[in-house]
Structure 1
């Protein structure tokens, strides 16, 4: 396969794909050094800045690594999966274990940092969850996740909020399936209502330990269902 000149646009994507294909075919083996920027630019018919951006993209995918003063070396033949892809493939129980680690701490932070606006939002989210008990599983799970998101928002840590938002779509799908599979709402349509009310009240009072305890008890109960299932 010849590298050959590229079409005018989009040059960076084309350059990255052409280099990636050569790596996948073993033209440049793992551990081997790629040609220099000037050589790649000449061969591909692009500027050195385009090659540099393409190599940066490939480094982000875990295919190459730049070594100071030595050049760029191949580190893998296939790109590593991005975070959303890995989440989609993960077992729900594994996600829940991580969710517990994060949300229990978030509950404590929420109790310490909540504002009056947060308390209002939490009460509204709890009311929506109660009302959703009369709805189908999808509506109920959405309301449940929204309540947990409101707790996380009250912690006032944007990284924490973003992290839980990454989990939300996968958790939503998994929980809807789990609730239907185990018929968890058959006897209690507002599954976990008491624990969620305790969580909101603990955050309102500013009691971090009680908030963490309520969050842990609620999430660990669902994790037990996951492991048993």
Structure 2
């Protein structure tokens, strides 16, 4: 089957897209062995190294699998969803449950590992959150997230930091939805200040148990409201 020669650069992306179209379009069913690199390269009008990179990308998407000594086989006709996509599709209660697991641990680690610079940054972030109480929901939510980012940063765990970074875009939108859905700031524009203040104090004092407890209580209250809807 001729796939049609590709235009110059970016060849890997084009090759990946063309092969993905063949797989998702049903040209190659699950269990089918793909043509060899040489044959694919000839059909696409590219080099074998380009084909190799394209197949690696398709393997990462969960569409193909290389089997030692046998070749490359189609294992799915729909790409698997990445973490960011799953988060965007998740229910707000699910997001909050995972958030609790991640951030409570981060707060406890932050209390054990925080530096003087971390403490100063957390106090500045808490002040910004309080100042944002007089602003709109979007600015207040942004300041709230910035404080939580500071807590995660103070844990000094790069994997945890990367995980929370993936969380932030979805979390920001979910928090905006949450503020509107529950009218959290209607009675108190600086909603949650007491709990956040207790958390920052506990981290500054190196009290891991109190830091985790303060954040867990804060998130549990919101989660309970969500489950009651």
TM-score, structure 2 as length reference: 0.95
Unpaired runs of 5+ residues, structure 2, are: none
Distance 1:186 1:44 in 2: 60
| 1:85 corresponding residue in structure 2 | 85
User: Where do residues 28-107 of structure 1 align in structure 2 (5 Å cutoff)?
Assistant: 28-107=28-107
Distance 1:126 1:55 in 2: 48
| 2:188 corresponding residue in structure 1 | 188
Distance 1:132 1:71 in 2: 58
User: Where do residues 93-132 of structure 1 align in structure 2 (5 Å cutoff)?
Assistant: 93-132=93-132
Larger mean CA deviation between 191-200 and 178-187 belongs to 178-187
Distance 1:126 1:227 in 2: 28
| 1:202 corresponding residue in structure 2 | 202
- 1:14 Cα deviation after fit: 2.0
Distance 1:183 1:91 in 2: 19
Unpaired runs of 5+ residues, structure 1, are: none
| 2:134 corresponding residue in structure 1 | 134
Q: What number of residue pairs does the alignment pair up?
A: 229
Distance 2:9 2:190 in 1: 54
Distance 1:177 1:44 in 2: 46
Classify the secondary structure of the residue corresponding to 1:133.
helix
State the Cα RMSD in Å: 1.4
Distance 2:125 2:5 in 1: 57
In the TM superposition, what whole-angstrom CA distance separates every residue of 1:51-79 from its partner, at most 9, and x where no partner exists? 10110111111110111111100011121
- 1:180 Cα deviation after fit: 1.6
